[in-house]
């Protein structure tokens, strides 16, 4: 078992004829992912590495039964691309694009609210279920099928954690990059229940960073609902509070958002918090009694 994506997931790549899109579509396909379609408006009929290109996501869905979209569309057009995928009936949208204006995401998040669709990202490495489907930009070879679920706000830091898990022989089930943008589609609290339910996942690594209160929310959720061991690292304990201009940021977060606050909240919820990012793998090993 695994979460979110597996070997049957049928992927459409939006922005497939671009440099990033074509490169990563090819990489995902080589990993074994069923990449069945691509979309670039005006380029229907072309092929990228044998993957048929369509003008619209709706066409791609009709012709190929794709159920998941992977987006590489540039920031100015990305909100539109996400909404197009949702309107075409795609159930899982994974948006890699970095640099989407926050206010665009505000509107997208509102428009998706209450609909039967999940957005992951933007500004994330994507999702991989090891040996089944890689839907994103992560290097596939560092992963090893195993027992740990990974959910993270960061990209390369996730690779670091995965590398440790693989090297120690623990391996991963599914790794989910939820992205670092202030307004995103999926949070820790959406992914944690999926790992808790997944019979193959024995422990969860949660990688957070300073800013916002996603980790504090996760702590609350874990305390109430998660029985599996959770191991966490929060990046940014040495980051300066940042040159502030106004005061509103501090008010709205109500004193939350620092690494220390987040660690405290997680520890109080029974999470094993590691201070040294080089120790993530060992902490999981200890938690699993291996």
Partner 1 sequence: MNVHEFQAKQLFAKFGVPVPRGKEITSPEEATAWANELNTSVFVVKAQIHAGGRGKAGGVKITKDKGAVAGLAKELIGKTLITHQTGPKGRKVHRLLLEEGANIAKELYLSILVDRDTGWPTFIASTEGGMEIEEVAEKTPEKIIKEAIDPAVGFQGHNGRNVAFALGLQAMEAAVINPFVQMLGNLYRLFMEKHAALVEINPLIITKEKTLVALDGKVSFDDNGIFKHEDVQKMRDLNEEDPLEIEATANNLNYVKLDGNIGCMVNGAGLAMATMDVIKLAGSEPANFLDVGGGATKETVAAGFRILLKDPNVKGIFINIFGGIVRCERIAHGVIEAAKEVKITVPLVVRLQGTNADEGRKLLAASGLTLEVADDLWEAAQKIVKLTGKAA
Nearer to partner 1, 254 or 289 (CB): 254
> Is 247 known to be catalytic?
yes
117 sits near partner 1 (criterion: CB under 8 A): no
Residue closer to partner 1, measured from CB, 246 or 289: 246
Q: Which stretch binds partner 1 (CB under 8 A): 62-70, 132-140, 219-227, 265-273?
A: 132-140
115: contact with partner 1 by CB under 8 A: no
Catalytic residue chosen out of the listed positions 24, 163, 225, 247:
247
Residue 213 Cβ vs partner 1, minimum distance, rounded to whole Å: 6
Q: Which is nearer to partner 1, 21 or 52 (by Cβ)?
A: 21
Sign of CA dihedral 32, 34, 40, 42: positive
Among residues 137, 209, 136, 198, the alpha carbon closest in space to that of 172 is found at 198
Nearest in space to 129 (alpha carbons), one of 5, 34, 29, 36: 5
Pairwise CA distance, residues 171 & 200, whole Å? 11
Site for partner 1 in 141-170 (CB under 8 A): 141-142, 152-160, 163
Decide: is 76 part of the binding site for partner 1 (CB under 8 A): yes
Binding mask 172-201 for partner 1 (x = CB under 8 A): --------x-xx------------------
Terminal C-alpha separation, the chain: 22
**What is the pairing mode between strands 145-152 and 203-209?**
parallel
Residue 181: name the closest of 156, 157, 162, 209 by CA. 209
């Amino acid at each position: 078992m695994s979460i979110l994506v597996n070997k049957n997931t049928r992927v459409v790549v939006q922005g497939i004829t671009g440099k990033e899109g074509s490169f990563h579509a090819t990489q995902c396909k080589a990993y074994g992912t069923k990449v069945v379609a691509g979309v670039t408006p005006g380029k229907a009929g072309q092929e990228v590495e044998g993957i048929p290109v369509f003008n619209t996501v709706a066409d791609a869905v009709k012709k190929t039964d794709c159920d998941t979209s992977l987006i590489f569309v540039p920031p100015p057009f990305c909100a539109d691309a996400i909404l197009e995928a949702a309107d075409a009936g795609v159930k899982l949208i994974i948006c890699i694009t970095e640099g989407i204006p926050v206010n665009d995401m505000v509107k997208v998040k509102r428009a998706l609210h209450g609909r039967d669709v999940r957005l992951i990202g933007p500004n994330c490495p994507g999702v991989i279920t090891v040996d089944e489907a890689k839907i994103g930009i992560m290097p596939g070879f560092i992963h090893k099928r195993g027992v740990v679920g990974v959910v993270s706000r960061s990209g390369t830091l996730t690779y670091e954690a995965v590398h440790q898990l693989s090297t120690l022989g623990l391996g991963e089930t599914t790794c989910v990059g939820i992205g670092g943008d202030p307004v995103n589609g999926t949070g820790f609290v959406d992914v944690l229940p999926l790992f808790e339910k997944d019979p193959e996942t024995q422990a969860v690594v949660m990688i957070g960073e300073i800013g916002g209160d996603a980790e504090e929310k996760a702590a609350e959720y874990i305390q109430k609902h998660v029985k599996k061991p959770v191991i966490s690292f929060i990046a940014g304990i040495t980051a300066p509070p940042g040159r502030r201009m106004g005061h509103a940021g501090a008010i709205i977060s109500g004193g939350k958002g620092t690494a220390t606050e987040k660690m405290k909240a997680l520890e109080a919820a029974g999470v094993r918090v590691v201070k040294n990012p080089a120790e993530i793998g060992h902490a999981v090993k200890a938690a699993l009694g291996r």
